[in-house]
Chains A and B, each alone.
Chain A
Amino acid sequence: NAGVMQNPRHLVRRRGQEARLRCSPMKGHSHVYWYRQLPEEGLKFMVYLQKENIIDESGMPKERFSAEFPKEGPSILRIQQVVRGDSAAYFCASSPGVNTEAFFGQGTRLTVV
C-alpha cells in the first residue's frame, strides 16, 4: 500500500508564475489535508477536502490560493502569481475518516526566485 504521494518534490518558480502541487492520498483514504511549513516553523493547516468538496478552508490565504480534490485524480493546491513569501514546504496528509490517524507525504518544497 503506497503512502501519500506528492509531486513534484522540489519546485522553483519565478515571481508572478503559477505553482501547482499534486497529492495522491493513500488507497482507501477519502480525506485530504494541506499544510504549509515556513522555515524554522511548525506546520500550519491550510485546507481540508473530501472528494469534490472543500470542507474547511479556514487556513487558506484569501487570494491567489485554491485547492481541489476532483472525483478522479489527485488533489491539487494551486498558487497563482507566486511571491517570495510563498516559499515554503507544502505537505499533504490523508486519512480514512475524521479524527483517524493522518499520514503525510514527503512534501513539495517551493522556492520562489
Chain B
Amino acid sequence: GAGVSQSPSNKVTEKGKDVELRCDPISGHTALYWYRQSLGQGLEFLIYFQGNSAPDKSGLPSDRFSAERTGGSVSTLTIQRTQQEDSAVYLCASSSWTSDEQFFGPGTRLTVL
C-alpha cells in the first residue's frame, strides 16, 4: 500500500511569505507527527495529532507555526512570515493507534531566502 506522502518535495520562498506544507498519512493511521530536521540537528518534534483528541503542540517553536488535520487524515503545517532560520526539512510521520512504529514521509525541504 501507499506510504506517507508529503508535498511539495521542495519549497523555496522569500523571507516574510507564508508557506503551507502538506502530509498525507497512511490510510487508517490515527496518529500523525510533524518534525523539523535542520542541518546537523536531530529531529525536532513539532506537533502530534491523535484521532479527535486535542493535538500536542508543545514542540511548535513560535506562534508563526500552526498545523491542522482535517477529517482525521490529511494535515497541513503552516508557517507564517517565514524567517531564514525556518529553512529545514520538515518530516511527517504516521502510526496506527496500537503500533509503536512511526512511518515517515520523504519530507519537504524548505528554503527561505
A pairs with B: no
User: What is the interface of chain B, defined by CB distance below 8 A to chain A?
Assistant: none
User: What is the interface of chain A, defined by CB distance below 8 A to chain B?
Assistant: none
